[in-house]
Amino acid sequence: MKHITQYFLTTLLLFTAIFNIKHIEAAEQPLVTVTTSFLEDIVTQIAEDTVEIALIVPAGGDPHIYNASARDLQNILEADVVLYHGLHFEAQMAAILVDYGFAVTRNFSKDDLILVAADSQDVDPHYWFNIELYKQSVEEARDILIETFPTQKDLYTTNADNYLKQLDELAKWIEEQLAVLPIEQRVLVTPHDAFEYFARAHDFIVYAPQGISTESEVSNEQIIQTVQYIIDHQVPAIFLDTTSNPQAMEKLQEGVQQKNAEVQVVGGEGMALFSDSLASKGQANDNYIDMYKHNISLIVQHLVR
């Protein structure tokens, strides 16, 4: 009996020691704080499990209007490195992010950016729908991570190179899928204007009554103009996105029907376009490549005639 008791005590001490070692290792793992699910995906692709990632805006959340919590501020202050989009995407957190973080868009050329209006200097922040710009943000994140964790240079370089190749393959796939849509059918009507970079890259016209930010209200005049546009251009479908209120699209559909025409509202579970966020971890479209393929498949399926 004494030997059995001693065996269990020894085993318990061994497991306790292993747990404590692993706990210490986990505690010592570098912390990378990111603002959005897009950046969480980029860091995961590059760094794998060599870092702990703290996500500020939860998947499905709206970075345009998100206010940092006390826990978010702690993750910013305690992080080894903080990555954010910039271009005023994280509008409510801009001040602290500028002081403590690195914008992955910091070296973008102004010539590649889209202004929200011809008479404005405000920049459209939704650059990730231009794959070439998204690749630049991946390269920027890679360089920042290597500078912060130089011992991981080889791993991070290899992973980033592989990911950039996957993004090139994605770009080719997108072109192949969109080839079935004639130019005159490339009209994308969505609640808020998150797809101008996509439109410029793929010869689409985007019509978004809500404008660039989800904070904007849709006026009756905007609804009337958009309804007429849908009818004049025989647009077969309009698209909800995952971070916008569906009411604007429902009003558009009602307005079209009142003029004896029809338009389909594409949305609901698994049928909305992703705009400002990826899906939650473990769900379909929880990474950039799958998200983009989902969007393209929806667009082609409902716009081709």
Residue 25 within a domain? no
Cα(260)–Cα(268) distance, integer angstroms = 25
What range defines the domain where residue 86 resides?
Answer: 31-172
Is 49 found in the same domain as 166?
yes
Please give the radius of gyration of the chain, using alpha carbons only, rounded to the nearest integer. 23
In total, how many domains does the chain have? 2
Is 213 found in the same domain as 140?
no
37-47 and 131-148 helices, crossing angle to 10°:
60
How confident is the model at residue 118, as a pLDDT? 64
CA atoms within 13 A on the CB side of 122: 12
Which pTM was predicted?
0.85
Residue 10 within a domain? no
Residue 3 within a domain? no
Is 163 found in the same domain as 37?
yes
How confident is the model at residue 217, as a pLDDT? 56
Residue 21 within a domain? no
Residue 48 within a domain? yes
Q: How far is CA 19 from the centre of its chain?
A: 36
Amino acid, single-letter form, for residue 266: V
Residue 5 within a domain? no
Residue 1 within a domain? no
List the CATH number of the domain containing 136.
3.40.50.1980
Is 116 found in the same domain as 71?
yes
Cα(74)–Cα(252) distance, integer angstroms = 43
Is 240 found in the same domain as 213?
yes
- The last residue of one of the domains, among 121, 155, 172, is 172
Do 79 and 71 contact (CB within 8 A), yes or no?
no
Cα(106)–Cα(104) distance, integer angstroms = 6
- In this prediction, the residues of the chain whose per-residue pLDDT falls under 50 are 1-26, 212-215
- The last residue of one of the domains, among 130, 154, 172, is 172
**Residue 9, H or E segment:** helix 2-28
- The last residue of one of the domains, among 172, 204, 220, is 172
